[in-house]
Amino acid sequence: MKDRVVHIVKATGIHGTEKHLLTLLSGLKEKYHVFLIVLTEPKTPLKEYFRQLAENGISAYRVIIRSDLDPVCAWKIFQVIRKVKPVLVHTHLIHGDLYGTLTAGAAGVKPIVSTKHNDDAFRKNRFIRALNMAVNRRTSGMIAISEWVRKFITTVEDVPENKIRTVYYGLKDIFPGSDTNIFREAFGISQDAIVVGIIARLVVQKDHQTLIAAFARAYRKNSKLLLLITGDGKLKSDLKHQVKTAGLEKKVVFTGYRPDTEKVLSAIDIFVHPSRWEGFGLSILEAMIMAKPVIATNVSAIPELVRGNETGFLVPAGDTEALARSILDLAENAELRKTLGHCGRERWKNKFSADKMIAETENYYKELLLDRP
């Protein structure tokens, strides 16, 4: 009979962490009976995410969280943990860490593992830092999704080096060859257009503003360019206004959120990811799998994925001119796009496969379970 493992996360949509858990838990269930407790806000049922979890054979519980400090939510998590009786609890993101460590500890479950997914600036806030440090003391071990995040957490939250392990995000080769023509036709994109694309939430972190400004510069020198923006978020109206002001309404396509990432990527010639900060950059890895050349910012963990001038180009964050120049360089050289894309796919195979991530996570579990008192 398989040992049981519980993961806990708060989710507001299907973003990087949620996609990561789909891949990780689908692999872990070969050796463990895995359960996922998803904390959701009352008006965000995430039906699509729970559908995907069920399709992947992952047992999931939805627990409603009504505020940052919700004792009813904590009680319900505690009840699930008592019912499941796991040998290990694994938490994700700040709410998952807080509620997971408290309830698992109260239920007498050890070890408790926490994955650190980002280098968010709010973690430097004095109150948040103190809270995280208190929570971290209750964990048995931690996983960082990149070396950058590991160094950030050890520095900001004063975590001992030997308590945190780097396990990179990994993805399966799940993207079949897609017909570029079908997707382009659906959005009125001509077949001879050179498509620059981004797949990311429309939030400040991803810096679509700089991308749109850079695209406007590049388009003035190459009229074949078209910008494809996939994702949703609170900046949508602001970004559309920026596009309208620049007179680019016919050259910028907003698709909204799309679950079929492989179809979007099939239509893209140049993938761009201009984040201001980034714990990893899962959409970059998706682009690499599809052998797309990547232009990204030289910040946080991104240089751990993208090798400058080998798998793509790295530019300074917020540098409109450098980003525009890189777009033009790739737009004007199809052979370079092909070479960089091929090298990116090879890098994924060697360093960021799902099998590697799952195996390293399982090994860490074994170490922690052996150390149980």
Tell me, which fold does domain 180-351 have in CATH? Rossmann fold (3.40.50)
Q: What CATH number is given for 4-172+353-370 in this structure? A: 3.40.50.2000
| Residue 239, pLDDT score | 98
Contact 229, 257 (CB under 8 A): no
Q: How far is CA 106 from the centre of its chain?
A: 30
Q: What is the pLDDT of residue 43?
A: 92
Average pLDDT on 239-251 reads 97
Q: Could you give the percent of the chain with pLDDT greater than 90?
A: 92
**Which segments of the chain belong to CATH 3.40.50.2000?**
4-172+353-370, 180-351
| Alpha helices per DSSP H over 41-177 | 47-55, 71-84, 93-106, 126-136, 147-156
Q: How would residue 183 be classed by pLDDT, with cut points 50, 70 and 90?
A: confident
Encode pLDDT of 343-369 as tens digits. Answer: 999 999 999 999 999 999 999 999 999
Contact 11, 49 (CB under 8 A): yes
Averaged pLDDT for residues 10-30:
95
Report pLDDT for 96.
98
- pTM of this structure: 0.92
pLDDT (mean) for 307-326? 98
Q: Closest Cα to residue 113, out of 30, 1, 28?
A: 28
pLDDT of the residue at 1: 82
pLDDT at 180 over 90: no
- Position 174 scores a pLDDT of 67
What is the average per-residue pLDDT within 258-268? 90
